[in-house]
């Protein structure tokens, strides 16, 4: 295994801590990626590569739905695709070269 993709940044930071305690170097031995671009992900000591899911767009959708429901409109299901982007930091690198 050369990489871990975590459910969110908090899990990814925990994984990075665990790997470091086991003597596994991030990203030299194992790359780690999170999701949600938490404020801690950008700290220099963490430097977590993550996906930023456009929280502003998610908030806009939530407010639109809340307003529609408050005005009496019944919304059964809404499907919207919000843009997300990769934020590359120091927790990822190309996989190590195989020693076979």
Domain residues for the domain of 62 are: 3-87
The C-alpha atoms of residue 52 and residue 45 are separated, in whole angstroms, by 19
The answer to the question of residue 60 being in a domain is yes
What per-residue confidence (pLDDT) applies to 42?
Answer: 95
Strand partners, 20: none
The answer to the question of residue 95 being in a domain is no
Nearest to 59 by CA among 87, 82, 33, 91: 82
Per-residue pLDDT tens for 35-71? 999 999 999 999 999 999 888 888 888 888 888 888 8
- Arithmetic mean of pLDDT, 80-92: 90
The answer to the question of residue 11 being in a domain is yes
Number of domains observed in the structure of the chain: 1
The answer to the question of residue 97 being in a domain is no
Per-residue pLDDT tens for 4-43? 999 999 999 999 999 999 999 999 999 999 999 999 999 9
The C-alpha atoms of residue 39 and residue 97 are separated, in whole angstroms, by 32
What per-residue confidence (pLDDT) applies to 80?
Answer: 73
The answer to the question of residue 94 being in a domain is no
The answer to the question of residue 83 being in a domain is yes
């Amino acid at each position: 295994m050369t990489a871990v993709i975590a459910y969110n940044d908090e899990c990814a930071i925990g994984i990075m801590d665990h790997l470091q305690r086991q003597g596994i170097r991030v990203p030299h031995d194992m790359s780690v990626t999170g999701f949600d671009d938490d404020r801690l992900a950008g700290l220099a000591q963490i430097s977590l590569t993550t996906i930023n899911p456009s929280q502003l767009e998610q908030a806009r959708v939530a407010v639109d739905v809340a307003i529609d429901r408050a005005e009496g409109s019944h919304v059964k299901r809404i499907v919207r695709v919000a843009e997300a982007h990769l934020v590359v930091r120091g927790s990822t690198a190309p996989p190590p070269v195989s020693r076979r």
